[in-house]
Homo-oligomer: A and B are copies of this chain.
Amino acid sequence: MLAKVYVTLKQGVLDPQGKAVGHALGTLGFKEVEDVRIGKYIEVTLPDLPKDKAEARVKEMCEGLLANTVIESYRIEL
């Protein structure tokens, strides 16, 4: 089974990459762009598990490694 993890910077945390990309889009003529935020999209392949078990496991992975919970939030989709 495939677990999808979205890692995004928390509100208020500086996103230098998003800022720079937003700026670059502006100079490329996409003047309408108001903001860009860049996060990660992670696909974890697992053996088939009951959904709640899988979710708990992936949550552990997020807390343990995939996200830095000081500055990032994450969301899991199964």
Contact = CB atoms under 8 A, between A and B. Distances in A.
- Tell me the number of copies of this protein: 2
A46 to B, nearest CB: 6
B32 A57 contact: yes
Contacts of A35: 43-45
Given A25-B65, A65-B21, A65-B25, A34 B39 contact: no
A39 B42 contact: yes
Contact of A33 (B7, B8, B39, B45): B45
A70 interface: no
Interface of A: 6-8, 18, 21, 24-25, 28, 30, 32-47, 49, 57, 60-61, 64-66
